[in-house]
Structure 1
Amino acid sequence: MRKILLYIVPLTFILASLTLMTSGGWLKEPRSDQDELLQSVQSIEEHVQRENWQEAKRKHAYTKRAWTIVTKRIQFSVGKDTLSEVNQVLSRMEGAIEAEDANATLIEIYSFYEFWQELG
């Protein structure tokens, strides 16, 4: 019995670790209507292109809340640098929306899309 436990416990730990580290792709997907991150950024893009800045600000606030939720799920499967970069992109996006600068906002939106692809 002891010999079996010596193999099963480490093997279970290794399999659980590998599953967690490679799960970024499905952990980033929305689980409720409060964490639809990609859809909210796409919505911001549409509002910016129409120059509807109030709605873009509202959607950005939702995006920040959704990112907080998603971050808690993916923090162990994604590098800390990537999480920090996405935080910076969202902050710069907020500044560009406040300044009502469509070009800068779109640059940050497409930067976000690139990081989103990297997450898995």
Structure 2
Amino acid sequence: MRKTLLYAVPVTFILVSLTLMISGGWLKEPMGDQDELLKSVQNIEQHVKRNEWQEAKREHTYTKKAWTIVSKRIQYSVGKESLSEVSQILSRMEGAIEANDANVTLVEAYSFYELWENLG
């Protein structure tokens, strides 16, 4: 019994750690109505293209909340730099929305898409 535990505990720990480290791809996907991050950025893009700035601001508020939820889930499976870069993109996007600058908002949205695709 003791010998079994001696091997089972480290092997279990290693398996759980590996699973957590490679799970970023599916952990970034929405798991409810509160964390649909990709869809939210796509909605912002559509609002900006139609010059609906108030709706874009509301959607960005949801986006920040969704990012908070998703970032907690994926923090152990992606690099810290990637998490920071997504946060920076969302902050720049917020500034562009406040300034009603469609060009910068769309550039940041497409930067987000590229990063999101490679995340996890």
Aligned to 1:70: 70
> How many residues were matched structurally?
120
> What residue is the counterpart of 2:8 in the other structure?
8
Whichever residue aligns with residue 72 of structure 1, its letter is K
Deviations 1:50-72 (A, max 9, x none): 11111111100000000001111
1: CA distance, partners of 2:32 / 2:4: 41
Q: Secondary structure of the residue that 1:67 maps to in structure 2?
A: helix
Query: Paired residue for 1:81?
Result: 81
In structure 2, the residue matched to 1:118 is: 118
List, as ranges, runs of 4+ consecutive aligned residues in structure 1 with deviation greater than 2 Å. Answer: none
Aligned 1:34-73 pairs, distance under 5 A: 34-73=34-73
Q: How far 1:7 sits from its partner (Å)?
A: 1.4
Give the match for residue 94 of structure 1.
94
Distance 1:8 1:117 in 2: 36
The AA in structure 1 aligned to 2:103 is N
- Residue 32 of structure 1: aligned partner: 32
What amino acid is the match of 1:30? P
Distance across 2 between alignment mates of 1:88 and 1:81 = 10
Give the letter aligned to residue 89 of structure 1: I
* Identity rate, percent: 76
Q: Which runs of 5+ in 1 are unaligned?
A: none
Find the aligned partners of 2:119 and 2:103 in 1 and give their Cα distance: 25
Matched AA of 1:70: V
CA shift for structure 1 position 117:
1.0
Offset of residue 114 of structure 1: 1.2
Gaps of 5+ in 2: none
Q: Compute the displacement of 1:78 (Å).
A: 1.0
